[in-house]
Amino acid sequence: MDAIKNRPARVKSGISGFDELVDGGFHHGTVNTLTGPSGTGKTVFASQFIYHGTKLGEKCMIITPSESSDQLKREMNASFGWDFFRLEQEAMLSIVDVTDPVLRLQKSIDVDPVEFLINFRKLVERKLQELKPARLFIDDLMAFFMAIEEPFKIRSLADDLFGIIRSSNTTAVITLGTAFGLNQILEYGADSATVLNRERIGNVLIRSIYIMKMRGSKISNSIRLLDISDDGLFVSSLSPYP
Ligand SMILES: Nc1ncnc2c1ncn2[C@@H]1O[C@H](COP(=O)(O)OP(=O)(O)OP(=O)(O)O)[C@@H](O)[C@H]1O
Ligand SMILES: [Mg+2]
């Protein structure tokens, strides 16, 4: 009984209906992936996780490898009124744009992908030490790994990166596009994996969500409807199928 009472508090996602599926939220200090095809809500989910953290007074960090950070800030402001521009000014949020030339990490076909990922890991490590965010969101990490062909290299580079994150006292949400099954290699290395999808019911397309795994936690086995409104993303208590 005491052991249950002494369980560490979970990190609340800020997504209505999600925490119930994973017995209360994410474990602190873990790496949590969100996988799904384009437009299923990965970036919105992770941005909402970050926005919620700032509302709780937590310092947060976003790393955007593929989209420019300005685009992300504009989209979240236009869609939901989440003002990442102001949060950045107030130093509640740091956004690291990896396409920023001053970081010398520009994606280029001339750069060896393994070398690029090693530099990326160093950058993440340096930024985590410098800023000590409570929450971290890395958008579209798959974009970096896609150029690496050998699965064992992907696994080993992902393990290195995830290890750095776990030892940094931050809770991370990482979005992954579904790329030729390579996302599975990263999901193996993560502490939890959530899958977002699009389903067709009759003539209607709906979004869905399920938890693939969460180490050290009970999880719901049901697929749920996922909806996006002006208030952000929420998980319904309903399933797409009867
Ligand atoms: N206020 C809103 N109400 C309803 N839907 C919205 C609203 N704002 C944005 N959306 C929808 O949310 C979706 C954006 O999802 P998101 O960018 O998170 O997808 P993603 O999974 O990250 O895709 P990608 O892999 O292409 O980056 C868009 O399809 C958009 O139509
Ligand atoms: Mg996205």
208-228 residue pLDDT tens: 999 999 999 999 999 999 999
The candidate with the shortest Cα–Cα distance to 34, out of 10, 53, 50, 52, is 50
Q: What top-level class would CATH report for the domain 29-235?
A: alpha beta
- Identify the DSSP state of 167: T
Cβ(27)–Cβ(11) under 8 Å? yes
Distance CA 147, CA 141 (A): 12
Question: What pLDDT does 66 receive?
Answer: 65
Question: What pLDDT does 125 receive?
Answer: 96
Q: Is the pLDDT of residue 200 over 70?
A: yes
pLDDT 10s digits, 83-110: 999 999 999 999 998 865 555 555 555 6
Question: What pLDDT does 208 receive?
Answer: 97
Ligand 2 centroid – CA 45 distance (Å): 9
Whole-prediction pTM value? 0.94
**Domain assignments of the chain as residue spans, ordered by start:** 29-235
> Counting atoms of ligand 1 from 1, which one is nearest the CA of 230?
1
In a mutational test of the pocket of ligand 1, which residue from 42, 49, 205 has the highest number of ligand atoms less than 8 Å from its CB?
42
Calculated CA dihedral for residues 65, 68, 70, 76, nearest 10 degrees: -70
Give how far the C-alpha of residue 164 lies from the chain's centroid of Cα atoms, to the nearest Å: 16
The answer to whether the CB of 42 is under 6 A from ligand 1 is: yes
- Of 173 and 1, the structure prediction assigns the larger pLDDT to 173
Q: Taking residues 152-173, report their average pLDDT.
A: 96
Question: What pLDDT does 109 receive?
Answer: 56
Give how far the C-alpha of residue 3 lies from the chain's centroid of Cα atoms, to the nearest Å: 30
Beta-strand runs (E) in the chain: 31-35, 60-64, 93-97, 135-138, 171-176, 192-201, 204-214, 224-229, 232-235
Ligand 2 centroid – CA 5 distance (Å): 38
The answer to whether the CB of 39 is under 6 A from ligand 1 is: yes
Cβ(151)–Cβ(185) under 8 Å? yes
State the pLDDT confidence band at 113, using cuts at 50, 70 and 90: confident
Question: What pLDDT does 67 receive?
Answer: 62
pLDDT > 90 in the chain, percent? 74
Closest ligand, as measured to the CA of 179: 1
Match 């009124």 to its residue by tokens. Answer: 81
The candidate with the shortest Cα–Cα distance to 144, out of 133, 154, 132, is 154
| Rounded alpha-carbon distances, angstroms, from residue 14 to 139, 163, 190 | 17, 25, 20
Distance CA 184, CA 164 (A): 20
Question: What pLDDT does 91 receive?
Answer: 97
Closest ligand, as measured to the CA of 40: 1
